[in-house]
Structure 1
Amino acid sequence: MSHPLVLFDDPPDLAPPAINPATFGGATVHELDADSSIVHVRGLITGHDELVRHLSTLAGWERRRRWMYNREVDEPRLTCEYRDLSSAPAFLVEVGAALSWYCGVRYDGLWMNWYRDHHDSTSWHADRPANTQETAVVPVVSLGAARRFLIRRSEGGPSTSFAPAGGDVLIMRGRCQRDWLHSVPKQQSATGPRMSLNFSSTAQVMGQK
């Protein structure tokens, strides 16, 4: 059963974004080590390019600043956050509900990153506050153009590369947030903008289900 986007009026010649829960059945598990893995769900969201167009019109996008070494710099991407998922556009609430069902975790928050072109990126990091727990389940939905998603052990070393297509989900499980770091590097060959939907769980951070 698919869930149509209900927040916006779609042109009659464009299919609205929809969720296809049947794709959960074809998910691929990539074992990073005995305690950490990434599940790749392909094609969970159809009409993802149209969804990117809709989400780009939201008022909450901002370019945040952060400290790097001894100075404050602009982050090379835009971010929009819903600390209360229920206040997000209705379709995103539906996506969160589908992932909550599949992952067995109550997701109640969302932050989105918008990589506008090949200059935008996210450096090596673990997701906070999910990394405060021994284990966590953190889903990241990709929309728009494919970009590389890299993950490596916290102490360094070679990275494992994923290239989720638009509409795909990568779910980091186990100790991915404790023992590993991930990034979305600059990519000269990027063919267009990409957005990521990163779902968070208050209950999970509190050590609950």
Structure 2
Amino acid sequence: MVAMPEALQASLLDVTDEVRLAPLASSVRRVPLSAGAWIDLAPGWLSGASALFERLAADVPWHEERRVMYDRTVTVPRLLSFYGEGDPLPHPVLDEARDALSAHYAGELGERFRTAGLCYYRDGRDSVAWHGDTIGRGSTEDTMVAIVSVGAPRALLLRPRGGGQTIRHGLGHGDLIVMGGSCQRTWEHAVPKTGRPVGPRISIQFRPRGVR
């Protein structure tokens, strides 16, 4: 049986049930990193994030995943769901977000965002280890991964591959982060475990074709 989290405590700053996006061009701020990597940040890009969280928590076919690590099979510490090209997304605003991101980054990316991967962090024990999205073309080409967060804020950490200063961003309540340029090859990112009491969070990752 998949263990489901407690109900989300809605943000006092996001009290609307109307789920909508802000204009991306006026919301996003770029932060250059190193080695040709960068991130774009748009805090609160999506309003009605608590309402969207509740819909996704209830409607998405979440599942646990088992992976082989260090000669043993372990349970991935978060729930997952993946929507490939042509799969209907679980809420219309996700189609709008994918289209808006594709239009905004068309000149730099040169292609559309095609897939959506969803992660459900039920509490502070759920996490994702240091990694880059280098399965497929991301291992050899510059690409982009756009992440929209709904639910309780969690820390997203970034650091250069091989060592260096760690950058910390708290993401939640409709925030957007886009990792671009060489970020997947030359930097790593993680959502660490925390012993602090935190509510559940869902992240939606939009990727181009052939990037995982």
1:129 to 2:136 alignment: yes
5+ residue gaps, structure 2, are 1-14
What CA deviation, in whole Å up to 9, does each residue of 1:175-209 have, x standing for no partner?
0011111100012335311110001111x75xxxx
What CA deviation, in whole Å up to 9, does each residue of 1:144-190 have, x standing for no partner?
11110011112133311111231111100110011111100012335
Partner AA of 2:190 in structure 1 = S
Partner AA of 1:53 in structure 2 = E
Displacement of 1:122 in angstroms is: 0.4
> What CA distance in whole angstroms lies between the structure 1 residues aligned with 2:132 and 2:66?
18
Q: Could you tell me whether the CA contact under 8 Å between 1:86 and 1:108 is conserved in 2?
A: no
What is the TM-score with the length of structure 1 in the denominator?
A: 0.84
> 1:174-189 maps to which residues of 2 (within 5 A)?
174-189=181-196
Partner of 1:49: 50
> 1:74-93 maps to which residues of 2 (within 5 A)?
74-84=75-85, 86-89=87-90, 90-93=92-95
Partner AA of 2:54 in structure 1 = R
> What CA distance in whole angstroms lies between the structure 2 residues aligned with 1:148 and 1:190?
13
Partner AA of 2:17 in structure 1 = A
Displacement of 1:59 in angstroms is: 4.5
Partner of 2:160: 153
Give the SS at the match of 2:193. coil
Displacement of 1:133 in angstroms is: 3.5
Cα distance, 1:59–1:15 mapped onto 2, change above 3 Å: closer
Matched residue count: 191
What is the TM-score with the length of structure 2 in the denominator?
A: 0.83
Partner of 1:109: 115
> What CA distance in whole angstroms lies between the structure 2 residues aligned with 1:141 and 1:133?
25
Cα distance, 1:175–1:70 mapped onto 2, change above 3 Å: same
> What CA distance in whole angstroms lies between the structure 2 residues aligned with 1:139 and 1:161?
17
The CA RMSD measured in Å over matched residues stands at: 1.9
5+ residue gaps, structure 1, are 1-12
1:96 to 2:98 alignment: yes
- The structure, 1 or 2, with the larger RCO (C-alpha pairs under 8 Å, 6+ apart) is 2
Q: Could you tell me whether the CA contact under 8 Å between 2:98 and 2:113 is conserved in 1?
A: yes
Displacement of 1:130 in angstroms is: 4.7
> What CA distance in whole angstroms lies between the structure 2 residues aligned with 1:148 and 1:51?
20
Partner of 1:8: none
Displacement of 1:103 in angstroms is: 1.7
Partner AA of 1:42 in structure 2 = P
